C-alpha cells in the first residue's frame, strides 16, 4: 500500500490538497486526513507536489514505424524509459505506412511486452491501407476476440501515401468497426491519419451526412498539420466531431505552417470548441517526414512520447489555458472517447496511474503505473528489459 499525503490533486478537476491511498493496482481513497496503521503502508509526504492522472497517449508507433525513405529509415521501437519520463502510463499502439515489415501480430506482442514491464497498453488493428489488414481476418473478429484491440487505424486519408479508399470502402470500414465495438463493449473508433491533401475531412463529412454512422465513430489525427486542415477541424469539432492534435514536431514543420499543439488548443477553445472533443497524442516513434511538392522525401525526424505533456504544459504556461482544462486532453478525454475503463481519473476505484509534478514548474518528478513507482523524485527506477 502507498499513501501520498498533502498533495495538490487534480482528478483532472481541481480537488485541493488531499491524501491518496493506493492498494495494489487501484486507488482506494482520495480525501484529506487519511489515517493508516503503522507498518502497513509506505507513507510519502507529497507537499509541494501536484498529482494528476497518468497520461494516456492514444497514438504511438510502439514497435517503430517510418520507412518512407527506404529500409534505413525505419524508426526504432519505443523504449520504456521514454514513456516513464513522459508520464505516459497508458499507450495505444498503431501501425503507419508500413503494414508489411510491421504487422498487427508484432504490434500486439510489443504491447504485451510493455504490459509486462509495467504499463497499460491497447492497440488499433490495421494501418494506412484499405482494405484493413487484420489479425484474425476481419475488423469485427479482432475487436471481439483480441482484448487489446479497441479500434481501427491509423487509416490514411488526403495523403499521397493513402490507398485512396472510395466512399463505399471507407464507410464499410467504419461500419465494421462500429458493429465490432458495440458487440465487444469497446470504442470501435476509426483513427484517421489526415495528410496534407486538399480534400481534407471531406470524406469523413460525407460519410456522416449520407450514412447512419455517428460523427464520434471517427478520430482524425494530425488535425494541426497545416492551417487549412486546422480551420476545417474547428468547424468539424463544433459540429460534434472529435479532433486529435499531434504533439511531436520539428521547427521546420512549424515554419511551414503546422499549428503548435498548445497554441492550437487555445485557438480552438477561443473559437467555441468543446474541450471534451479534443485530445492530444504524440505520434511517438512515428516518422515525421518532410516531402517536397513532388512527394520526394527531404528529411525525416522521429516523434517522441515526451512531447505529450510538454505541449500541455506549454498550453498552460505560454497560452493561458487553465491547467485543469489542458489536462483533460491527455487524461479524461481519451479515457472516455476510447472507453478505457479505470483510466484518466484520480478517484476511488480507478487504476493507480498517477504523475507527480513540481508545483512551481510543472516538471514531471514521479510516475506511478498500476500502483508501482516507475520514477520517483526524478530518478528512473525501472527500465526496459534491454535498456
Architecture field, domain 54-337: Alpha-Beta Barrel (3.20)
Residue range 137-147: mean pLDDT, rounded:
98
Any catalytic annotation for residue 283? yes
The β-bridge partners of 301 are 288
Domain ranges of the chain: 2-52+342-380, 54-337
* CB-based contact 334:60 (threshold 8 Å): no
Q: Could you give phi then psi for residue 202, rounded to 5 degrees? A: -60, -40
Residues 98, 283, 314, 319: which is the catalytic one? Answer: 283
pLDDT band with cut points at 50, 70 and 90 for residue 291: low
The phi and psi torsions of 134 (rounded to 5 degrees) equal -105, 180
Q: 180, 139 in Cβ contact below 8 A?
A: yes
Mean pLDDT, the chain, as a whole number? 95
Predicted confidence (pLDDT) per residue in 215-224, tens digit: 999 999 999 9
CATH 2.30.40.10 fits 2-52+342-380, yes or no: yes
Query: Given 3-state DSSP classes, what are the helix, strand and coil percentages for the chain, each rounded to the nearest 5?
Result: 30, 30, 40
Helix (H) / strand (E) element for 167: namely helix 167-184
- With beta carbons less than 8 A apart as the criterion, state whether 280 and 247 touch: yes
**pLDDT tens digit string along 224-252?**
999 999 999 999 999 999 999 999 998 88
Lowest mean pLDDT among 20-34, 38-52, 334-348: 38-52
**Predicted TM-score of the model (pTM):** 0.95
| Per-residue pLDDT, 70 | 87
* Per-residue pLDDT tens over the stretch 250-284: 888 898 899 999 999 999 999 999 999 999 999 99
Amino acid at each position: 500500500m502507498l499513501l501520498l499525503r498533502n498533495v495538490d490533486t487534480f482528478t483532472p478537476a481541481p480537488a485541493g490538497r488531499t491524501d491518496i491511498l493506493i492498494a495494489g493496482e487501484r486507488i482506494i481513497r482520495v480525501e484529506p486526513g487519511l489515517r493508516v496503521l503503522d507498518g502497513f503502508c509506505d507513507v510519502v509526504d507529497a507537499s509541494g507536489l501536484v498529482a494528476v492522472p497518468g497520461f494516456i497517449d492514444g497514438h504511438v508507433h510502439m514497435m517503430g514505424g517510418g520507412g518512407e525513405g527506404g529500409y534505413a529509415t525505419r524508426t526504432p521501437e519505443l523504449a520504456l524509459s521514454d514513456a516513464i519520463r513522459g508520464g505516459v502510463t497508458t499507450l495505444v499502439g498503431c501501425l503507419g505506412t508500413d503494414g508489411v515489415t510491421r504487422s498487427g501480430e508484432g504490434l500486439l506482442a510489443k504491447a504485451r511486452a510493455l504490459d509486462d514491464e509495467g504499463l497499460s497498453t491497447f492497440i488499433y488493428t490495421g494501418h494506412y491501407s484499405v482494405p484493413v489488414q487484420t489479425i484474425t481476418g476481419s475488423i469485427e473478429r479482432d475487436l471481439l476476440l483480441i482484448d487489446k484491440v479497441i479500434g481501427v487505424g491509423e487509416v490514411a486519408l488526403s495523403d499521397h501515401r493513402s490507398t485512396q479508399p472510395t466512399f463505399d470502402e471507407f464507410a464499410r470500414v467504419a461500419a465494421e468497426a462500429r458493429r465490432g465495438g458495440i458487440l465487444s463493449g469497446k470504442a470501435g473508433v476509426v483513427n484517421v491519419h489526415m495528410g496534407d491533401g486538399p480534400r481534407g475531412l471531406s470524406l469523413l463529412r460525407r460519410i456522416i451526412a449520407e450514412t447512419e454512422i455517428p460523427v464520434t465513430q471517427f478520430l482524425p489525427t494530425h488535425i494541426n498539420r497545416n492551417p487549412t486542415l486546422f480551420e476545417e477541424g474547428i468547424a468539424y469539432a463544433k459540429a460534434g466531431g472529435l479532433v486529435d492534435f499531434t504533439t511531436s514536431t520539428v521547427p521546420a514543420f512549424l515554419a511551414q505552417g503546422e499549428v503548435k499543439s498548445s497554441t492550437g488548443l487555445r485557438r480552438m477553445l477561443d473559437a467555441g470548441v468543446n474541450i471534451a472533443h479534443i485530445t492530444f497524442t504524440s505520434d511517438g516513434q512515428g516518422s515525421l517526414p518532410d516531402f517536397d511538392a513532388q512527394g520526394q522525401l527531404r528529411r525525416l525526424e522521429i516523434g517522441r512520447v515526451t512531447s505529450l505533456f510538454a505541449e500541455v504544459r506549454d498550453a498552460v504556461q505560454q497560452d493561458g489555458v487553465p491547467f485543469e482544462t489542458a489536462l483533460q486532453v491527455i487524461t479524461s478525454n481519451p479515457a472516455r472517447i476510447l472507453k478505457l475503463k479505470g483510466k484518466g481519473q484520480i478517484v476511488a476505484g480507478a487504476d493507480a496511474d498517477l504523475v507527480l509534478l513540481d508545483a512551481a514548474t510543472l516538471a514531471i518528478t514521479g510516475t506511478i503505473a498500476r500502483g508501482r513507482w516507475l520514477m520517483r523524485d526524478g530518478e528512473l527506477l525501472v527500465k526496459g528489459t534491454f535498456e
